[in-house]
Amino acid sequence: MLAKHGKVFVLAWFALVLIVSPVLAGNLDRFTGMEGSLDIAGGTAHIPVMNEAAKRIMTFNPKVRITVAGGGTGIGVQKAGEGLVDIGNTGRPLSDEEVSKYGLRSFAFAIDGVAPVVHPDSHVADLTAQQIRDIFGGRITRWSEVGGNDAAIHVYGREEASGTHEVFWGKLLKKEAVVGTANIIQSNGAMKVAVSQDRNAIGYMSIGHIDDTVKPLAVDGVVPSQETAIDGSYPVIRHLFMNTKGDPEGLTRAFIDYILSEDGAGIIRASGYIPLQ
Amino acid sequence: MLSESWIRRALCAAATTCVAAAFCILLVLVYLVLPLFTPGGLGAVFSWQWLPFQGQFGILPMVTGSLLLSLGALTLATPLAVGVSCFVQVLAPRRVKGLCLAMIHYMTSIPTVIYGFVSIFLLVPLMREWFDRGTGFSLLTAMIALTLLILPTIVLVFHATLREVDLTARTTCASLGFSRPSYIRHVLLPLSRRGLLAAVILGFGRAVGDTLISLMLAGNAPMVPGSPLDSIRTLTAHIGLVVATDSQSTFYHSVFASGLILFLIMILINLALRGLGRSYTS
């Protein structure tokens, strides 16, 4: 009696697993039976999302190899355009020259905020947009002028054509040039290291890269975060793009669809960004 | 006999390929810089302001930065290298000598990024505290790290010359009653002057060409520094930064000019080195 019940139970359990497993696999199903490799490079803001997606896909189907490299927005355009990688990420829309030279297709997948950041020990937590413009423009040079310690402000910036720089400069600095003595940092990751090492630093970086080692500054009383970016109260936002040369096919297509799927949206949220759909 | 002529041909082909490759690189660079050869274009690139969105693409601050950084590193590294080489060749006990040389050889194999990365966490905060001026990302910081990087190059080349001279001169000088310090001062160093020059030129080439140290440690502000504690940008770091962020706009082309200038500097250095080598052997 008991044995029979056991058998039924096992069968029922198997049936349940069979019914449920597609749900568990969910959006990863599109990778079933696929093989080959996919190379991704470019914007450094995208890396947390790309890495997590790559990890999940390769765990689901070990025959798929995905490599994720940084390099910056420019590298993303260049490498995708020259066919050196399958997906080139950019933190800004492509320029007309870039589209016409390479025939790239863009897929926006997330909204990212760019926030001013300081060292966690800084006494300053809130600045007005005008104060931030004055600091980056070189008119305010000491922290004491904005309610902090009596120390010189160390300004850290990014190169002009960086996607992160473009949105911060365009939307918060109102296209005013950053002071020439500012240290120029080469990526979001390096910016985090630089600011977290320097008590008197101010820099700016993608919200998705912010963790406990740096402190985002409230701008006009609004703390930059996913929530304030969604409800529109924090305005310094941009889209993150994946770009392919021509229309994506096969594995590339599957990867982009995955990023744009429900699962992808979860990864994007967990990485500190806002999914676009 | 047949195999010998084949070996000769193979070597000749290899040499020709190398020369052709280097020449092609030069041609490509010149070709890519050609669009800049308009009255406005050239003037915009060879100027002192880098504000690409205001139409100013000056790379002269980067040329200055490159020269200051590599010359600065050379001034630190050369006396050190001379000291290390002389110590190792003449003064050191045998066991210490072996250890020193092994260490120097090992230093050549440390990747540049390790120097840069460790310096960000060790050297940069120290510089910031000691001098209490600037961010710690500065000409001086990069200079110190770069000194470590080029030191083994200079030591190894110079030490090779020193050993040759030492082999021929040591016994004579010992029999004449030279003390070891005065032997170094009056015989060894004067006789190996050319070797030192060759070593220094090689070290300079290494210093000018290095990218990561300056990109990670020098601060990259595109300006002419007023003090060693100011931030600078080198030509190599400039190329790295612009390539990382941009791809087709007008100011992207200034990186080709930067590349061409670097290439020409390296050609000059190598010509100088060849000239030296010739006069040394003759």
Span A203-243, pLDDT tens digits: 999 998 899 999 999 999 999 988 898 888 999 999 999 99
Tell which of A183, A185, A187 to mutate to test the B interface (max B CBs under 10 Å). Answer: A183
Does A183 sit within 8 Å of B220, measured CB to CB? yes
Confidence of residue B1 (pLDDT cuts 50, 70, 90): low
- Intra-chain end-to-end CA distance of chain B, in Å: 32
Does B245 sit within 8 Å of A160, measured CB to CB? yes
Of B280, B135, B31, residue with least CA distance to A185:
B135
Task: Specify the pLDDT at position B280.
Answer: 57
Give the residue-averaged pLDDT of A257-270: 92
Residue B89, C-beta contacts closer than 8 angstroms, at least 6 positions apart = B97, B159, B162, B163, B166, B188
Residues of B in contact with A184 (CB under 8 A): 219-222, 233, 241
Tell which of B230, B248, B258 to mutate to test the A interface (max A CBs under 10 Å). Answer: B248
Check pLDDT > 50 for residue B167: yes
Q: Where are the domains of chain B?
A: 59-281
Written as six digits, the tokens of B262 are 């670097």
Contact B9, B17 (CB under 8 A): no
Does B52 sit within 8 Å of A161, measured CB to CB? yes
Which A residues, 149 through 208, put their C-beta within 8 Å of a C-beta on chain B? 152, 154, 156, 158-163, 165, 175, 177, 180-187, 190, 193-194, 197-198, 200-201
Cα–Cα dist B108/B205, whole Å: 15
What is the percent of chain A where pLDDT is above 90?
59
Contact A109, A248 (CB under 8 A): no
Task: Specify the pLDDT at position B74.
Answer: 94
Does A77 sit within 8 Å of B220, measured CB to CB? no
Nearest to B219 among A73, A78, A183 (CB): A183
Pick B93 or B254 by higher pLDDT: B93
CA A12 vs CA A4, A6, A7, A169: distances in Å: 12, 10, 8, 61
Does B136 sit within 8 Å of A184, measured CB to CB? no
Give the residue-averaged pLDDT of B141-153: 95
Confidence of residue A177 (pLDDT cuts 50, 70, 90): confident
Contact A258, A53 (CB under 8 A): yes
ipTM computed for the complex: 0.81
Lowest-confidence pick of A66-70, A107-111, A195-199, B128-132: B128-132
Minimal-distance CA residue of chain B relative to A154: B135
Cα–Cα dist A141/B56, whole Å: 25
Check pLDDT > 50 for residue A1: no
CA distance B171 to chain A (A): 56
Task: Specify the pLDDT at position A14.
Answer: 58
Nearest to A97 among B51, B245, B248 (CB): B248
Lowest-confidence pick of A135-149, A215-229, B33-47, B127-141: B33-47
Nearest to A74 among B125, B223, B243 (CB): B243
CA distance B245 to chain A (A): 4
Which A residues, 25 through 84, put their C-beta within 8 Å of a C-beta on chain B? 71-75, 77-78, 81
Task: State pTM to two decimals.
Answer: 0.82
Cα–Cα dist B246/B242, whole Å: 6
Amino acid identity, position A67 = T
Cα–Cα dist A189/A181, whole Å: 21
pLDDT digits (tens, 9 = 90+) for B218-238: 999 998 998 899 999 999 999
Task: Specify the pLDDT at position B194.
Answer: 86
Handedness of CA A167, A168, A170, A176 (dihedral sign): negative
Give the strand pairing for A201-206 and A154-158.
Answer: parallel
Give the residue-averaged pLDDT of B78-105: 93
Cα–Cα dist B56/B20, whole Å: 35
Nearest to B245 among A161, A177, A180 (CB): A161
Q: By three-state DSSP, how is residue B260 classified?
A: helix
Check pLDDT > 50 for residue A22: no
Nearest to A183 among B231, B242, B244 (CB): B231
Highest mean pLDDT among A94-103, A177-186, B72-81: B72-81
Pick A271 or A1 by higher pLDDT: A271
Does A197 sit within 8 Å of B244, measured CB to CB? no
Query: Which CATH superfamily, name and number, covers B59-281?
Result: MetI-like (1.10.3720.10)
Task: Specify the pLDDT at position B56.
Answer: 78
Task: Specify the pLDDT at position A173.
Answer: 92
Which B residues, 136 through 165, put their C-beta within 8 Å of a C-beta on chain A? 136-137
User: Any bridge partners for residue B232, and if so which?
Assistant: B219
pLDDT digits (tens, 9 = 90+) for B185-208: 899 999 998 899 889 988 998 999
Does A75 sit within 8 Å of B246, measured CB to CB? no
Contact with chain A for residue B54, Cβ under 8 A: yes
